[in-house]
Chain A
Amino acid sequence: YPLFQRGGPQLRIFRPNFFMLAVRPGVPQPEDTVQFRVSMEMTKVDIRNYLERIYNVPVAAVRTRIQYGANNKRNHRNQRVKKPDYKVAYVQLGQGQTFQFPNLFPEKEQDAETRPFDDFRDKYMEKEKQKQEGDPRRGGVPDWFGL
């Protein structure tokens, strides 16, 4: 950004090119804390203004850190492959609001058709596996082994 000096114009960004990704926290966070992955160039002030102006979310506090992406993996040419760095923002909501990251993959409830089909399929797979294994009395020894 252009450096601000006293008497100069206030920096205003219209139609910002940033986007913020809300993620599920890896470790449990307090109820009023939301975790975001943001662009590396965003500052705490930017994040606060972004949420307050565009989404009307009351923000009480913002803390950021930069997560270093590891550089240990190697590709087929033995070159190191870097995972990208990203900035993580922990936003504490104001006015007593809370946020819980939703469960994006809920268990689909099975209707009358799929349940017996699933049971039939499981039983069939079990029978196939039994056929493959062979006689349990032989204790895992293959059947070509013998006199």
Chain B
Amino acid sequence: MAALGAWRLLRPGRRWFSETVPGAPSPPGSPLYPPVVASITAKSKAGKLRRQQRFIERVHAAATVEEKLRLYGKLQRPKYMVYPQTFALNADRWYRSFTRTVLVPGMPPRAAAAKPPAAAAGATPEACRAPEPGAEAPAAAEAPAAAKTPEPAAGEAPYVDIGELRSLACDALLQESFYQKKKRPFLYRDQDHTPGPFLTQLVSTLAASLSGRNPLLAASSLDLNPEVNYYWHHGEEVVVHGHRKGRVDPVRFQIDDNPHLQIRVPKQLPEVVPLESDLGDVPVIDHKPSKLPLFKKQYENKVFIGSKVADPCCYGHTQFHLLPDKLKRERFIRERLEDQIEVVYRSNGIASLFAWTAAQAMYQGFWSEADVTRPFVSQAVVTDGKYFAFFCYQLNTLALSAETIKNNPRKNICWGTDSKPLYDVVEDGHVKGFNDEVLLQLVRFLLNRPKEL
């Protein structure tokens, strides 16, 4: 009897225990249930991954660059403050590992093939038309000029008058150090007294006189004592103390830099080498950054190039850094740390340029999850008033956080020179031992421009 009753229940057509509208087929191909994904609020690794994915999508979907930057730096946690001008020993090696930079000594080779020196005189009208900046003519003319001692060949006079520029530089130097009557500098304020104003004067006069040759300079913007900030993640560590003890956190860094002068331009400088090129190795340091010594603080995560996002001059051209009194050459020589002199220049160049180029890339909408599609190039000159060191930086990758760096073969590249003196000594209204090469390199830097111009 029970079996008969059960059989009657199971007869088809008697679906009284479930409500289905007969004759309404489910849409073909779509699943009946929502997708099974990890919970957003649960305290689990899958939940954490899902929250991170939601954050990444939120940043990708942000409408404006300002909104992206606001979301990127929204969460404040203790982070390492990276100072470009630091007294820490071997800081440039540590900074290269933080920023995944390869250091190539010397300046990058110019793009176009070197013209034969004999043709330099006749080639000047072509050089004017050629897209390659004035580096060609001085570089090609320097080879015969080096062979014969007199001043640079007359063939390049109509293009770049080195004598005129030299006189401009000497005028600025003498004005600041000899003609102008200044009181004694205050304690530890030597750099603000003479080399600072000299650098400002030199750069502004050179930029003004060369803007005729380089239309990019004519449209550029010269900042005095600007601020450059960048915030990024690199690597992972376990939190040691506090209520978050034991959790795995990304290592956060922030650079807050104040270059002495900065030139920003509306067009990007051309790339020096292709995006995926590999010119060397990045040093790998297993120790925690606090052993450098580097210290942690929690404050605003700022990304800034010197002007806000809406400014048309959003790409960088050249930065000029002045080394402070604490990092004078004489101090290093007195403490028998001669090898650290160059380290100071290199660490300043690498850190400042990385922060500037990365901030420029963020202003264009790229970030660590959306890596750059074209390289960002900028230049810098680090000086202490007398010695000049030149740096050129190419940013190939922004993806430095722990997840994105795993499959990232790209490295950032920095070309840098050693520091060379611009002059030997200033005596009695004359500049002794003026070095033309340094001035020429400076001029080349200022004349650098994209190929279309």
A97 within 8 A of B: no
> A30, A32, A33, A94: which has the most chain B beta carbons within 10 Å?
A30
Return the contact of B337 from the options A28, A30, A32, A94 (Cβ within 8 A): A94
B287 within 8 A of A: yes
**Beta-carbon contacts of B275-315 to A below 8 Å, as 1s and 0s?**
00000000001111001010000000000000000000000
A63 within 8 A of B: yes
List B contacts of A60 (CB < 8 A). 89, 335, 337, 340
Q: Are A29 and B337 in contact (CB under 8 A)?
A: no
Q: Are B286 and A28 in contact (CB under 8 A)?
A: yes
List B contacts of A28 (CB < 8 A). 286-287
Tell me the bound Cα distance from A92 to B293 in angstroms: 11
Tell me the bound Cα distance from A22 to B336 in angstroms: 24
Q: Known contacts being A28-B286, A94-B336, A94-B337, is A61 close to B291, with CB within 8 Å?
A: no
Tell me the bound Cα distance from A30 to B93 in angstroms: 12
Which residues of B, 220-252, contact A by the 8 Å Cβ criterion?
none
Tell me the bound Cα distance from A60 to B288 in angstroms: 20
Chain A interface, number of residues (Cβ within 8 angstroms): 13
Tell me the bound Cα distance from A59 to B340 in angstroms: 13
Q: Are B291 and A33 in contact (CB under 8 A)?
A: yes
Q: Are A92 and B89 in contact (CB under 8 A)?
A: yes
Interface residue tally on B, bucketed by range: 10 to 19
Residue in A closest to B240 when the chains form the complex, CB atoms: A27
List B contacts of A61 (CB < 8 A). 88-89
List A contacts of B339 (CB < 8 A). 96
Q: Are A58 and B291 in contact (CB under 8 A)?
A: no
List A contacts of B287 (CB < 8 A). 28-30
Taking the closest CB of chain B, its distance from the CB of A136, in whole angstroms, is 40
Taking the closest CB of chain B, its distance from the CB of A47, in whole angstroms, is 14
Q: Are A30 and B293 in contact (CB under 8 A)?
A: no
Q: Are B336 and A58 in contact (CB under 8 A)?
A: yes
> B88, B291, B337: which has the most chain A beta carbons within 10 Å?
B291
Residue in A closest to B290 when the chains form the complex, CB atoms: A27
Return the contact of A30 from the options B291, B336, B340 (Cβ within 8 A): B291
- Interface majority SS (helix, strand, loop, mixed), chain B: loop
Taking the closest CB of chain B, its distance from the CB of A65, in whole angstroms, is 11
Tell me the bound Cα distance from A94 to B338 in angstroms: 10
Tell me the bound Cα distance from A105 to B287 in angstroms: 25
Q: Known contacts being A60-B337, A61-B89, A94-B337, is A29 close to B291, with CB within 8 Å?
A: yes
List A contacts of B335 (CB < 8 A). 60
Tell me the bound Cα distance from A61 to B335 in angstroms: 10
Tell me the bound Cα distance from A32 to B90 in angstroms: 11
Tell me the bound Cα distance from A33 to B337 in angstroms: 16
List B contacts of A33 (CB < 8 A). 291
Tell me the bound Cα distance from A73 to B337 in angstroms: 46
Residue in A closest to B88 when the chains form the complex, CB atoms: A61
Which residues of A, 60-106, contact B by the 8 Å Cβ criterion?
60-61, 63, 92, 94, 96
Tell me the bound Cα distance from A28 to B340 in angstroms: 24
List B contacts of A96 (CB < 8 A). 339
> A32, A61, A63: which has the most chain B beta carbons within 10 Å?
A61
Residue in B closest to A63 when the chains form the complex, CB atoms: B293
Tell me the bound Cα distance from A27 to B286 in angstroms: 12
Residue in A closest to B339 when the chains form the complex, CB atoms: A96
Residue in A closest to B87 when the chains form the complex, CB atoms: A61
Taking the closest CB of chain B, its distance from the CB of A37, in whole angstroms, is 18
Tell me the bound Cα distance from A30 to B336 in angstroms: 21
Taking the closest CB of chain B, its distance from the CB of A101, in whole angstroms, is 15
Tell me the bound Cα distance from A137 to B285 in angstroms: 56
List B contacts of A30 (CB < 8 A). 285, 287, 291
Residue in B closest to A25 when the chains form the complex, CB atoms: B291
**Beta-carbon contacts of B86-97 to A below 8 Å, as 1s and 0s?**
001100000000
Tell me the bound Cα distance from A114 to B287 in angstroms: 41
Residue in A closest to B288 when the chains form the complex, CB atoms: A27
Tell me the bound Cα distance from A61 to B343 in angstroms: 15
Tell me the bound Cα distance from A60 to B293 in angstroms: 14
Taking the closest CB of chain A, its distance from the CB of B426, in whole angstroms, is 31
Which residues of A, 1-41, contact B by the 8 Å Cβ criterion?
27-30, 32-33
**Beta-carbon contacts of B108-121 to A below 8 Å, as 1s and 0s?**
00000000000000
Taking the closest CB of chain A, its distance from the CB of B225, in whole angstroms, is 30
List A contacts of B89 (CB < 8 A). 32, 60-61, 92
Can you identify 22 A-B contacts, CB atoms within 8 angstroms? A27-B288, A28-B286, A28-B287, A29-B287, A29-B291, A30-B285, A30-B287, A30-B291, A32-B89, A33-B291, A58-B336, A60-B89, A60-B335, A60-B337, A60-B340, A61-B88, A61-B89, A63-B293, A92-B89, A94-B336, A94-B337, A96-B339
List of 5 A-B pairs having minimum Cβ-Cβ separation, nearest first: A30-B291, A30-B287, A60-B89, A92-B89, A61-B89
Q: Give me the interface of B with A, judged by CB distance under 8 Å.
A: 88-89, 285-288, 291, 293, 335-337, 339-340
Given contacts A58-B336, A92-B89, list 12 more A-B pairs with CB under 8 A. A27-B288, A28-B286, A28-B287, A30-B285, A30-B291, A32-B89, A33-B291, A60-B89, A61-B88, A61-B89, A94-B336, A96-B339
